[in-house]
Chain A
Amino acid sequence: MSEAVPAAGGRDRLLIDIADLWKTYAMGESEVHALRGVNLQVHDGEYVAIMGPSGSGKSTLMNLIGCLDTPTKGSYVLNGRAVGQLDEDELARIRNREIGFVFQTFNLLARASALQNVELPLIYAGVPLAERRARAEEALKQVDLLDRAKHHPNQLSGGQRQRVAIARALVTRPSILLADEPTGNLDSTTSREIMVLFERLHALGNTILLVTHEHDIAAHTCRIVSVRDGRVAADEPVAERTLAHAGAS
């Protein structure tokens, strides 16, 4: 499992460096500023929650961090590389290598087994079959689902599906795990299960960005960034962190 720890750099290495980031959408005649000069720095190994009500620009920020979109203005350096103005193919490459997405609705491919789902990012990375299979199995082992490798998503519970999705995010050994409301579709018990898993992955050295609107979920992280009206309204460490695994079992 040590592969999950980025090899180079110490704990204080700057992974995300966002400076004066703007995103403007044209809505007919008028312009809508979804982000109005966001500044954000995330270091290697951090566990950060991004919070904000709908319309705050939280989703836009997440899309930009996830390299699904490009900013109108400002700079975004991810793991030492300026990714603000890359073209679609280069962004796809960055998403493949640097970002591990975890979605609210899991977004597994229904016709593929758990193992095949986890393999998918490696296919796009051009990893040969044997290595792909080995790494996918290893990632499934990390989320304790190796025994369900042959199961299809519809044969798995919600929590198991999300763990498969997390394995898929981990399998490329990305710089950051970007989880968008990962517990939004799960009941509280399963939610805690997932949060325990994130805690474990964080402890192993993974950098995790968690987008949520639930305070008790955010309370599991180490730092909360609040977004409001397209700006970072507050950026504070969590004073009294709730540990999910303490409440479990």
Chain B
Amino acid sequence: MNFLEGIRIALGAIRANLLRSFLTLLGIIIGTSAIISVIAIINGLNLYVAENLSNFGPGVYVISKFGIITSHEAFLDALKRNDDLTAADARAIAQNCDLAERVAVEVHSTRDVTRGANQVQDVDIGGIDPGIVDIEPYEVDQGRNLSEDENARAAAVCFIGQDIVTNLFGTIDPIGKKMRVDEREFTVVGTAKKKGSVFGRSRDNFVKIPFGTFVKMFGSRRSVNISVKAASGVPLEDSMDQARVVLRARHHLRYADGDDFGIVTAEGVNNLWKNLTQTIFLVAIFVVGISLVVGGIVIMNIMLVSVIERTREIGVRKAIGARNRDIRLQFLVESVTLSCLGGGIGVSAAFAFSWLLRTYSPLPARFPLWAPLLAFGISVAIGVFFGLQPARKAASLNPIEALRTE
């Protein structure tokens, strides 16, 4: 008996019990579509994060007091051990590191901003070296960036995000208008293009003012972040090491001491994220695996039922010349056809699901080609594995007894 014949018989048997077949396949359908969906979601998250979470590109690193903190203990440790970073630290790096092409500081504080009766609370106020736009560029929507001159004379000017534009100015053109940060009046010189939100947190809720202005207004006792762009063509690691040496010398660290500052790179952020998603991925795959195994057991169960129901048919087939291996193949093909069908439906469902996600959520949920192939392969394997025992049982039936069955 050939394979096509087996598939034809299998499809006939499946069609004869359409509802039962569908219910049988539910486990496999959910399992395969879940595998692909998990891959698509994680992939999408990775992409999303790579695009959005770290807004600085390759060749850039940021030295900060805390670096990447992954636990409360690490935070407390760093709080005890780490020194505040100062503008002088930044200057030292700029002067002593030939592998640092550009160095700029940024310092943050959270304040309320007002304009007349309009108020926005808890806005991120960033005091920046205007040169930071060369390192962490942001797109200007209207007006212009802050200038070095404004920084030098600590001018009361600001560059604002879209949330501030909307909430303080509404439809009014904000350029040249006045607004207040705390009680001090600032003139808006430019606005940034909308960046959207990441994980529900808006990235347009900021006001940038010159670093000099910030120090004059809020004092210089805050730790600054030092953004560094490595010299082009130089490995990032080398530039980071140079900056590290300079800072360690300035902070009088001994050889055995750890760094009292942290360095963040785009790669570091992504790696942290990837570690996190890897864990999610493994847990999700484990859960999906259980659903697939359950789906396989259901298939085995229904195949055993099918063998019993069709005992007489098996007897007839044997009487007219089917060998044991023909019967075995027939039932194996049937279980594999079932699981393939489930896998196929699951893959289609996953395609539909990830399309919905892409279209109706910000998540760029995509899966690589190997994901549906893997899922489909797994469902075929499940069909073979869980179909083997029922097929063997069918093949080993005694033809005389099988024929006698009512």
Contacts and interface: CB of A to CB of B under 8 A. Distances in A.
Closest 9 CB pairs of A and B: A96-B321, A124-B321, A92-B323, A121-B320, A107-B316, A89-B323, A111-B12, A101-B319, A68-B399
Given A89-B325, A123-B1, A124-B326, A96 B320 contact: yes
Given A63-B400, A107-B403, 20 more contacts: A68-B318, A68-B400, A88-B323, A88-B324, A89-B323, A92-B322, A93-B321, A95-B320, A95-B321, A96-B321, A101-B319, A107-B316, A111-B13, A112-B12, A123-B1, A123-B2, A123-B5, A124-B317, A124-B326, A168-B320
Interface string B377-406: 000000000000000000000011001000
Interface residues of A, number: 24
16 contacts: A66-B319, A68-B400, A68-B403, A89-B323, A92-B322, A92-B324, A95-B320, A103-B316, A103-B403, A107-B316, A111-B12, A111-B16, A120-B317, A120-B320, A121-B321, A123-B5
Nearest to A101: B319
B323 to A, nearest CB: 4
**Main DSSP-derived SS at the A contact region:** helix
Contacts of B324: 88-89, 92
Given A124-B1, A124-B323, A92 B318 contact: yes
Interface of A: 63, 66, 68-69, 88-89, 92-93, 95-97, 101, 103, 107, 109, 111-112, 120-121, 123-125, 168, 172
A123 B330 CA distance: 12
Contacts of B229: none
A37 B2 CA distance: 41
Contacts of A96: 320-321
Nearest to A171: B320
Contacts of A95: 318-321
B48 to A, nearest CB: 51
Chain B's interface size range is 20 to 34
Interface of B: 1-2, 5, 12-13, 16, 312-313, 315-326, 399-400, 403
A95 B323 CA distance: 10
Given A63-B400, A111-B12, A111-B13, A101 B323 contact: no
A83 B319 CA distance: 15
B227 to A, nearest CB: 73
Contacts of A93: 321, 323
A97 B321 contact: yes
A68 to B, nearest CB: 5
B316, B319, B325, B400: which has the most chain A beta carbons within 10 Å?
A: B319
